[in-house]
Amino acid sequence: MAPLDPAWTGFFSAAAGAAATLVGLIIVAVSVNLQRILAFQQLPSRAGAGIGTLVLNLAASMAALVPQPAAALAAEVAGFAAGTWLVALWAARQMLVAPAQERRPLPELMITIGLGQCQVLPFLIGSAAMLAGHGSGVYWIAAGVVATFAAAVFNAWVLLVEIMR
């Protein structure tokens, strides 16, 4: 299997830089509001999952920049995504077992959990497609990169602003 098309270099370079910046923002948001975040059972795991998906984004983007066969990239992304998916499952569990007075309304809770799971899914689909030799795999990974950015901005807002309400 051939290496990744060099035309993707700019995209993954920008994604790696943006992911690293957003990881820092969320870590700062957590440190600034640590006492408030720790007061809610589900928020530390949500923050951890948010950081995890950005680290997945960062790791996948950096791996895409390494000159290597596409199959190796796909295996790396699959491994990163599987680990991140486990963190997202843990965060979902924490949201579901939170005390009733802390729990969000069920529709909001299901949307939050679903969005957390859906961030990882494009990385898994993309890596599987790449391993199968389909050229669409990198597009799925790119979609995952965009999805993690959208969710990270939302999570940063919750951890910086909404937590203060």
Contact partners, residue 8, CB within 8 Å, separation at least 6: 64, 138, 142
Backbone angles phi, psi at 3, to 5 degrees: -65, 170
Burial of 148 (0-12, 13-18, 19+ CB in 10 A): buried
Is 75's pLDDT higher than 90?
Answer: yes
Instruction: Say how far apart CA 126 and CA 135 lie, in whole Å.
Output: 9
**pLDDT tens-digit map of 132-146:** 999 899 999 999 999
Distance of CA 152 to the CA centre of its chain: 8
Positive or negative, the Cα torsion across 53, 54, 56, 57?
A: positive
Single-letter code of the amino acid located at 103 = R
pTM of the model as a whole: 0.87
Q: How many residues does the chain have?
A: 165
Residue 72: pLDDT above 70? Answer: yes
pLDDT of residue 162: 77
Domains of the chain by residue range: 6-164
Amino acid in the structure at residue 9: T
The answer, yes or no, to whether residue 2 has pLDDT greater than 70, is: no
pLDDT tens-digit readout, 92-118:
888 888 887 777 788 888 888 888 888
Alpha carbon of 147 to those of 56, 72, 118, 122, 153: distances in Å?
A: 12, 23, 8, 9, 10
Q: What is the pLDDT confidence band of residue 63, given thresholds at 50, 70 and 90? A: very high
- Asked whether the predicted pLDDT for residue 42 surpasses 90, the reply is no
